[in-house]
Amino acid sequence: MGRLFLKEINAFFNHLTGYLLLAAFLVTLGLVVWVFPETSVLEYGFADLEALFVYAPLIFVFLVPAMTMRMIAEEKKSGTWELLMTSPLTNSQVVLAKYFAAVALIVLALLPALIYYYSVVQLGDPVGNIDSAGFFGSFIGLVMIGAVFAAIGIFSSALTENQITAFVIGVFLGFLLYFGFSAFSMLQRNDAALFLEEISLSYHYQSMGRGVIDSSNLIYFLSVIGSLLVLTGIMIKRK
């Protein structure tokens, strides 16, 4: 399982596409935090990284499916999937190894956010004048959002042999879970509105952004991740 995990990490960095994806993510976040006048910390006048956490999930909707679309679909298309299925690893171990590799890449992409945090801490007046609880709550929430999108991406990749199709499915499901349910809840004026809001990723992500790590939010994220990984295992077993 560990070898498969490392294989996925190496496969990502053995292609120019992997570096381009990380570079695009980091450049976009850097522009949002420091350059664009509407969101720049320097223009805002407050030691706050709210813009980063507002726009990062939107970028993740496209970035994470692009990272995961090849993990199963490419192996099916190239014919190496059959070899993998005859290895000593179980279906669950294969899915988990690929999933943890995707999560590790997401965490790697988010590490520069800690540099931004340190920079804003130093820019504060006085130094350190920043809502650290809110930052780390949002950071953990962003990691969980990325972990959910990784599970969506692995599931999408298991549905098809075509990477582009896997990417489109991943983007659609991620957009639905994060933005779709919240948008639908605004169209309702009854108990359904509250239900739709509470099953959306954005609701729990914003809750963690207040700086309080509620167990109910963590249980929600882990439940969604677990459900998607189980569905992925079922799809693999059926095919």
Nearest CA to 63 out of 93, 22, 101, 31 is that of 22
Instruction: Tell me which of 39-43, 216-220, 235-239 is least confident.
Output: 39-43
DSSP element (H, E) containing 110:
helix 91-110
Q: What is the pLDDT of residues 110-150, one digit of tens each?
A: 888 888 888 877 776 676 667 777 788 888 889 999 999 99
Could you give the residue ranges of the DSSP H alpha helices within 48-90?
50-68, 70-78, 80-85
- For residue 189, the 8-state DSSP code is -
Model confidence at 45: pLDDT above 80: no
Model confidence at 188: pLDDT above 70: no
Answer for the pair 73, 163: CB distance below 8 angstroms, yes or no.
yes
The domain segmentation of the chain, as residue ranges, is 2-238
pTM, 2 dp = 0.89
Q: What is the pLDDT of residues 67-116, one digit of tens each?
A: 988 888 777 777 777 777 777 778 888 889 999 999 999 999 888 888 88
The CA distances from residue 50 to 28, 31, 206, in Å, are 15, 14, 11
Please give the share of the chain, as a percent, with pLDDT higher than 90: 21
